[in-house]
Amino acid sequence: MTNRWQAAHRAALSPFDLTHVQFVLLAALTWLAGRSAGKPVTQRDVADHAATDPMMTSQVLRTLEQKRLLERRDHPTDRRAKSLIPTESGAALVNRAIGAVEACDRDFFGPLGDRTPGFTEALHRLRGRDTSNDQWSNHALEAQGEEGVQFGSGREQGT
C-alpha cells in the first residue's frame, strides 16, 4: 500500500521536478520562514521540523539551492550556521506542488470517506506521535475537505 501511495506522490510531483523529500523539505522551510517573524531558519530547524536526518537534509537542501529554490545566507548571530530562505520561485513552486499532493491524497484516500480522520489518527498512534498540534496531520486532514494550505502565505490553519 505504501508503495502505491509513494508512486502516486512521485507522479504528482514529477511536473514540478521535485522528489518527495525535496518537496517535504522545501515545504517545511517555506512554512517555517513564514512563521519565523524575522528569526533566521537554520538547516537544523528544517531537519527537526521535517523529522529528517541532518546529513541527508544538508544534501537535499544543497540540491534545492542549486535549483535556485532556496538561498543560504550568513546567520546573523551564529558564525557556524547559515540561515535559509526560500526564493520567491521556490515558495511559488512548493505552493503549486502542495495543491497537486493534496489532490493526490484526496484521490488515494478518498475510498475511506468520512473514516479518513480516524485512519490518520490511528496511524499516528501506531507511530507514537501526538497529533494535537502537528502541521502535517492538519495538512492531511485538510486534504480531505477544505481548500489547500498555502505555506508561507498566512493562510495556514490556525492563522
Interval 63-94: pLDDT, tens: 999 999 999 999 999 988 889 999 999 999 99
Instruction: Please measure the distance between the N-terminal and C-terminal CA atoms of the chain and give it in whole angstroms.
Output: 34
Counts for the chain of helices (H) and strands (E), in that order: 7, 3
Residue 134: the pLDDT is 52
pLDDT in tens, 20-63: 999 999 999 999 999 988 899 999 999 999 999 999 999 999 99
Q: What is the mean pLDDT of the chain?
A: 83
Distance CA 31, CA 80 (A): 23
10 to 29, 104, 143, 145, 159: CA distances (angstroms):
20, 10, 17, 22, 30
Residue 44: the pLDDT is 94
Chain centroid offset of residue 44 CA:
15
Residue 128 has pLDDT above 80, yes or no: no
Nearest partner of 47 among 36, 69, 35, 32, judged by Cα? 32
Contacts 24+ apart (CB under 8 A), 133-138: 135/31, 135/49
pTM: 0.76
- Is residue 30 within 8 A of residue 150, CB to CB? The reply is no
Tell me the three state secondary structure of residue 71.
strand
Main-chain dihedrals φ then ψ at residue 147, nearest 5 degrees? -60, 150
